[in-house]
Amino acid sequence: MKTVHVSASRGYDVVIGGGLLETMGRTAAQLCPGRTACLVSDDTVFGLYGDRAKASLEAAGFTVCTWVFPHGEQAKCGERFLELVNFLAEHRLTRADLLVALGGGVTGDLTGFAAACYLRGVRVLQVPTSLLAMVDSSVGGKTAIDLPAGKNLCGAFYQPVGVLCDTDLLRTLPEDIFRDGCAEVIKYGVLGSRDLFDRLAAAHVRDQAEAIVADCVAMKRDVVEADEFDTGRRQFLNLGHTLGHAVEAGSDFRLSHGKSVAIGMAMIARAAASKGFCSPETRDELIALLTRYGLPTETDQTPEAILRTALGDKKRQGGSITLVVPAEIGRCVLHKIPVEELPRWIEAGI
Ligand code: GLY
């Protein structure tokens, strides 16, 4: 078992290892003075782990209410958000009580945002069940719902009281969803660790999950501690996301986030190599590792379509946009460009 402590506006531990779901109730009891917990999960995850999670909380003395929603990104919407906060109010949760987000990124984002808003803030324990949520979305306090105009457009920075990454839960994760998480893991290697990148090439993430998740979380912790509110260094975590989000939205979200980020990273690496930011070898190494993990590196969307969506991205600031550009494996740079230059980057990346 490994523990990574995050010192942000609220300090908390991210615990990584097997068997954490069983002891989750005891951990929750230490993090929260109240004795009512609302367990939030989608129907798929609740079917797999809901009973065990509930039993663990009840054994630790909690009265548990459960809010289960139909799985899928479409649940991250205003309607579901209002249903959830109304449910909390109907069950009279107080500021002493706890929300438990058991699931992937959608569950974590929706529950985290409800926790940030209900009574102007109640405790939330994140229990991510997907690789992607373990290495990225459950850590660092970004919470949000989507709006019709775009993804994650309404949200808050709101840190959890703890994060439990039970790596045993990865065993039931469908291969395709596991692969999505691998894209984010590869991102960390490209961003800041040649060593991590090489370990990903040497053995599959599945066979070294605890160590890999812990290393990614430690890297994310360093970034979040330096820039909790995303005004500088945290932007590095957007590697592959500007173009990736555009491809994801352009597919009407039929293409998953992880696969879109993989395409976004490959595109920015191609553009970076053609503009002399990195060598062709760096580009090829990145694309080869993505391919090895079964991730896509190309899109059939047109440059015009990608541009249209990229211009609506929330990372755009007025007339400029900051790209995260690989310089070598383990090192990236932030490169601010006027939006008029974006078409050339997209064309070079396709
Ligand atoms: N997922 C990117 C971040 O937490 O900043």
- Banded model confidence at residue 312, pLDDT cuts 50, 70, 90: confident
CA of 237 to the centre of ligand 1 (A): 6
Please give the Cα distance from 4 to 212 (Å, whole number): 13
Distance CA 242, CA 146 (A): 16
Say whether pLDDT at 31 is over 90. Answer: yes
Residue 108 near residue 142 (C-beta atoms within 8 A): no
d(CA 57, CA 164): 14
CATH 3.40.50.1970 fits 2-172, yes or no: yes
pLDDT bin (cut points 50, 70, 90) of residue 151 is confident
pLDDT at residue number 235: 95
User: Residue 311 — very low, low, confident or very high, per pLDDT cuts 50/70/90?
Assistant: confident
Q: What is the pLDDT of residue 30?
A: 98
Residue showing tokens 């190599």:
273
| pLDDT value at residue 289 | 98
- Is 320 strand, coil or helix? strand
Q: At what angle do helices 280-292 and 175-192 cross, to 10 degrees?
A: 160
Per-residue pLDDT averaged across 29-58, rounded?
98
- φ/ψ (deg, to 5) at 47: -60, -35
| Nearest ligand 1 atom to alpha carbon 238 | 2
d(CA 58, ligand 1 centre) in Å: 33
How many other C-beta atoms are found inside a 10 Å radius of the C-beta of residue 278?
A: 26
Which of the listed residues 216, 238, 324, 334 should we mutate to test ligand 1's pocket, taking the one with most ligand atoms within 8 A of CB?
Answer: 238
Q: How confident is the model at residue 316 (pLDDT cuts 50, 70, 90)?
A: confident
pLDDT in tens, 235-264: 999 999 999 999 998 998 899 999 999 999
Least confident of 23-27, 28-32, 308-312, 329-333: 308-312
- Does domain 175-349 fall under CATH 3.40.50.2030? My reply is no
Distances (CA, A) of 211 to 15, 54, 215, 301, 337: 12, 28, 6, 36, 37
pLDDT-based confidence at residue 118 (cuts at 50, 70, 90): very high
Average pLDDT over residues 155-182: 97
For 121, 275, 285, 310, the CA distances from 314, given in Å and listed in that order, are 25, 25, 30, 9
Distance 196 CA to ligand 1 centre (A): 19
Residue nearest to atom 2 of ligand 1 (CA): 237
Atom number of ligand 1 nearest to Cα 137: 1
pLDDT exceeds 70 at position 314:
no
Any idea which residue has 């958000």 for tokens? 81
**Mean pLDDT, all residues of the chain:** 96
Residue 319 bridge partners (DSSP)? none
Position in ligand 1 atom list of the atom nearest CA 141? 4
- Distance of alpha carbon 33 from alpha carbon 263, whole angstroms: 45
Q: Name residue, tokens 């440059």.
A: 303
The answer to whether residues 120 and 2 touch, using CB atoms and an 8 Å cutoff, is: no
Residues 6+ positions from 308 with CB-CB distance below 8 Å: none
- For ligand 1, pick from 220, 227, 248, 265 the residue to mutate: most ligand atoms within 8 Å of CB: 220
In the chain, the percentage of residues whose pLDDT exceeds 70 is: 99
Residues 75, 279: Cα–Cα separation, whole Å:
41
Distance (Å, whole) CA 208 – CA 210: 6
**Ligand 1: which residue has its CA nearest to atom 3?**
237
The amino acid present at 276, given as its one-letter code, is G
Contact assessment for residue 277 and residue 327, using Cβ atoms and an 8 Å cutoff: yes
Q: How does pLDDT run across 270-305, given as a tens digit for each residue?
A: 999 999 999 999 999 999 999 999 999 999 999 999
Q: Which residues pair with 145 in a beta bridge?
A: 154
Give me the pLDDT at residue 150, please. 79
How far is it between the farthest Cα atoms of the chain?
60
Task: Tell whether ligand 1 has an atom less than 6 A from the beta carbon of residue 234.
Answer: yes
Interval between CA 238 and ligand 1 midpoint (Å): 7
Say whether pTM exceeds 0.85.
yes
Q: Is 35 in the pocket of ligand 1 (CB under 6 A)?
A: no
Q: Which residues on adjacent β-strands are paired with residue 72?
A: none
Query: What is the position in ligand 1's atom list of the atom closest to the CA of 142?
Result: 4
So where are the chain's domains? 2-172, 175-349
- How far does the centroid of ligand 1 lie from the alpha carbon of residue 98, in Å? 23
Of the listed ranges 11-15, 101-105, 113-117, 318-322, the one predicted with least confidence: 318-322
Cβ 2 under 6 angstroms from ligand 1: no
> Rounded to the nearest whole angstrom, what is the distance from the C-alpha of residue 137 to the centroid of ligand 1?
6
Q: Which residues contact 167 (CB under 8 A, 6 or more apart)?
A: 16, 17, 18, 134, 209, 210, 213
Cα of 235 to ligand 1 centre, how many Å?
8
CA distances from 95 to 114, 115, 139, 249 (A): 13, 10, 22, 36
Question: Ligand 1 within 6 A of 142 CB?
Answer: yes
DSSP-derived 3-state class of residue 45: helix
> At residue 157, does pLDDT exceed 70?
yes
Secondary structure tally for the chain: helices H, strands E? 14, 12
